[in-house]
Amino acid sequence: MKTLKIAIQKSGRLNEKSVELLKNCGLSFENYKSSLISNVSNFPLEILFLRDDDIPEYVQDGIADLGIVGENVISETGVDVSFLQMLGFGKCTLKLAVQTHSTIENIADLNGKSIATSYPVILKNFLDDNKIKAEIRTISGSVEIAPGLGLSDAIFDIVSTGGTLKSNGLKPFAEVMKSEAVLIGRKGIENEPLIVELIQRIQSVLRAKETKYVVLNAEAKNIDQILALLPGVKSPTVVPLAEEGWVAIHTVIPERDFWEKISLLKSAGAQGIVVMPIEKIIL
Ligand code: ATP
Ligand code: MG
């Protein structure tokens, strides 16, 4: 059987989560920091550890079949690949920012100004779309210090919490793109059986991450009121307890409405609520 290759970041912000995702898919491999390739022992897959900038082109050119990389890097390299699955980690926003005392307040003010960035392609597309003529100064890192050094009037960079901008005396004034890690594949690979299998495994892990398994006790007279609050994967399981008139209810609820649900359940008479993580949900 043909062995697939997946390219992931060797070290950096996406490495750990990418490795964790593949391990949670039941793939068994050594995460050698020093080697560039690792063999998965229980699936026909090789993992290539690369600089994230190289991943889109490796996938486009078929050197790797799959890759995990930020959407920002895909846009910047302008490659033609298939987006197979959004992965929900590595979230960030690409923003324009200026020094706190700058007179630049909106994107129109950028006309005739200079902007330092490591993402010249995304920035150029944005400026062209908005018919703004500004000079792009491409630098490979530490973009935040450019205005302070007099190298540029503004910067265009990745922001997650905004802490780095603040500590460099900068403030964001426009958002250009949101990004998260995504599973990409070589064009045309989507329907190959091994790819389909791997995507299904990834989806079952992601689905499980978004949900919790909840067990609670309640008096039988409160069942209807409690069940009305619980959507469940299919429908909640209700089992009688040894104590007469009491039941245990088992269900699965989305993490996002978790706290809201818990307080509603308590006021509907739920007791001894136990919340557990789920490893996988296979539909
Ligand atoms: P490499 O050595 O692989 O080229 P890098 O230094 O280019 O790594 P990292 O800083 O590790 O890249 O970031 C990898 C990706 O993580 C980014 O391209 C982006 O998609 C995402 N990311 C999420 N939050 C942030 C953040 N606060 N700063 C930078 N990148 C972030
Ligand atoms: Mg990089």
The pLDDT of residue 260: 85
Fold of 92-179: D-Maltodextrin-Binding Protein; domain 2 (3.40.190)
* 34 pLDDT higher than 80: no
Average pLDDT, integer, range 34-53: 94
The pLDDT of residue 233: 60
Average pLDDT, integer, range 181-201: 96
Tell me, in angstroms, the distance from the centre of ligand 1 to residue 218's CA.
47
For the CA of 52, the closest atom of ligand 1 is: 3
For 169-187, write each residue's pLDDT tens digit: 999 999 999 999 999 999 9
* 163, 165, 171, 174 alpha-carbon torsion, rounded to 10°: -100
Whether 56 contacts 66, CB under 8 Å: no
Q: 13: Cβ below 6 Å to ligand 1? A: yes
Q: 247: Cβ below 6 Å to ligand 1? A: no
Chain mean position to CA 42: 26
Q: 90: Cβ below 6 Å to ligand 1? A: yes
DSSP string, 218-237: EEGGGHHHHHTT---SS--E
Give the list of residues 6+ apart from residue 218 with CB closer than 8 angstroms, or none: 226, 246, 247, 249, 268, 269, 270, 271
Domain ranges of the chain: 4-90+180-208, 92-179, 211-277
What is the distance between the alpha carbons of residues 43 and 220, in angstroms, rounded to a whole number? 47
Lowest mean pLDDT among 35-44, 176-185, 215-224, 234-243: 234-243
Q: 52: Cβ below 6 Å to ligand 1? A: yes
What is the distance between the alpha carbons of residues 181 and 58, in angstroms, rounded to a whole number? 16
For 80-101, write each residue's pLDDT tens digit: 999 999 999 999 999 999 999 9
* 68 pLDDT higher than 80: yes
What is the distance between the alpha carbons of residues 74 and 5, in angstroms, rounded to a whole number? 18
Whether 149 contacts 157, CB under 8 Å: no
Residue nearest atom 26 of ligand 1, based on CA coordinates: 160
The superfamily (CATH) of domain 4-90+180-208 is Periplasmic binding protein-like II (3.40.190.10)
In this structure, the number of other CB atoms found within 10 A of the CB of residue 150 comes to 7
Which ligand has its closest atom nearest to the C-alpha of 141? Answer: 1
pLDDT confidence tier of residue 1, bands split at 50, 70 and 90: low
Mean pLDDT score of the chain:
94
Residue nearest atom 24 of ligand 1, based on CA coordinates: 92
Record the tokens describing residue 262, joined without a space: 């818990």
Average pLDDT, integer, range 249-260: 86
Q: 182: Cβ below 6 Å to ligand 1? A: no
For 121-164, write each residue's pLDDT tens digit: 999 999 999 999 999 999 998 999 999 999 999 999 999 888 88
Q: 9: Cβ below 6 Å to ligand 1? A: yes
Q: Which amino acid is at 174?
A: A
Whether 219 contacts 246, CB under 8 Å: yes
- Rounded to two decimals, the pTM is 0.89
Percent of the chain with pLDDT over 70: 98
Given CATH 3.30.70.120, say whether it is the number of domain 211-277.
Answer: yes
The pLDDT of residue 257: 77
pLDDT confidence tier of residue 261, bands split at 50, 70 and 90: confident
Q: 17: Cβ below 6 Å to ligand 1? A: no
For the CA of 179, the closest atom of ligand 1 is: 20
Domains 4-90+180-208 and 92-179 share a fold: yes
* 32 pLDDT higher than 80: no
The pLDDT of residue 232: 62
The pLDDT of residue 259: 84
Tell me, in angstroms, the distance from the centre of ligand 2 to residue 117's CA.
13
What is the distance between the alpha carbons of residues 56 and 7, in angstroms, rounded to a whole number? 9
